Amino acid sequence: MANLKVTLSGWELDNPVIASSGTYGYGLLFTDIYDVNILGSFSLKGTTYEPRFGNPQPRSAECEYGVLSSIGLQNPGIDAVMSEELPKLRRHYRKRVFANVCGSSVEEYACVASRFDESEQVGIIEVNLSCPNVKEGGMNFGSDPAMAARVTGEVKKAVSKPVYVKLSSGVTDIVSIAVACEQAGADGLCMVNTMPGIRIDLRTRKPVLGTKTGGYSSPAMLPISERMVFQAYEAVSVPIIGMCGVSTARDVLEMMMAGASAVQIGSANLLNPRICKEIIDALPAEMEEYGINSLSEIIGSAH
């Protein structure tokens, strides 16, 4: 029988399929579609200290090969997530989750992370470095190795749970940022977030999104994100979770051979809400076709 189990920082997952933050809400919307407990895990909506309404409409635009979105971290704030969303989730989901932490300052990251650290439902703190640093003129925390390391270090000081840092795709040197995060204490990396993009409405001659640009993700992004995982795997020793463009069981195998210990499924959930289940169901047959008995044995095997 095919062994789909993988391990992240001592946490054994039934399979490597994790639904990505921002595409799965708090899991409740999917409970009528399939048993969400089949997932390896999923990542909660990005959470800030105070509630956020999000970006102006329109927030999403379909592309021929994917989705362009600019949600703007809409969320009810850490207090509401801890007191309302997590208790509701407990009634439907028995496994631990990733808590996606966002902020506009280093202090906010550390504060939100420390609150999630109190919850037994949270297995890993996922630090989203794609947030704009308001104190530095809006530059993303993940665009500079020193800035990324500072956030990582401060969050590590504030929590006892494993910290995985979610890196941005819109950088010229992903390896230097990955190494900086590892040296600052990151227990793992999530690679990578969406790529900045834009669509123009031909009738209005204006950008489709209310914020003009947004994050683009599609199957066409897989070779780019896979390349970044491949490069980082040779430079760091912590586990990597591959993401951006993963939409089939074969993509999962590829990403793991590149160096990922698990994968996250993002925009594919928006296009096909059953996609995570379909990928999990398809993995044993794909493994058999390529002579794979255990997924853990292929991690980094392309190197």
Q: Which residues belong to the active site?
A: 131
Q: Residue 231: name the closest of 259, 205, 255 by CA.
A: 259
Backbone angles phi and psi of 100, in degrees to 5? -85, 115
Residue 152: other Cβ atoms inside 10 A: 26
From CA 301, how far away is CA 303, in angstroms rounded? 5
- What is the 3-state secondary structure of the chain? CCECCEEECCEEECCCEEECCCCCCCCHHHCCCCCHHHCCEEECCCECCCCECCCCCCCEEEECCEEEECCCCCECCHHHHHHHHHHHHHCCCCCCEEEEECCCCHHHHHHHHHHHCCCCCEEEEEEECCCECHHHCCCEHHHCHHHHHHHHHHHHHHCCCCEEEECCCCCCCHHHHHHHHHHCCCCEEEECCCEEEECEECCCCEECECCEEEEEECHHHHHHHHHHHHHHHCCCCCCEEEECCCCCHHHHHHHHHHCCCEEEECCHHHHCCCHHHHHHHHHHHHHHHCCCCEHHHHCCCCC
From CA 196, how far away is CA 108, in angstroms rounded? 24
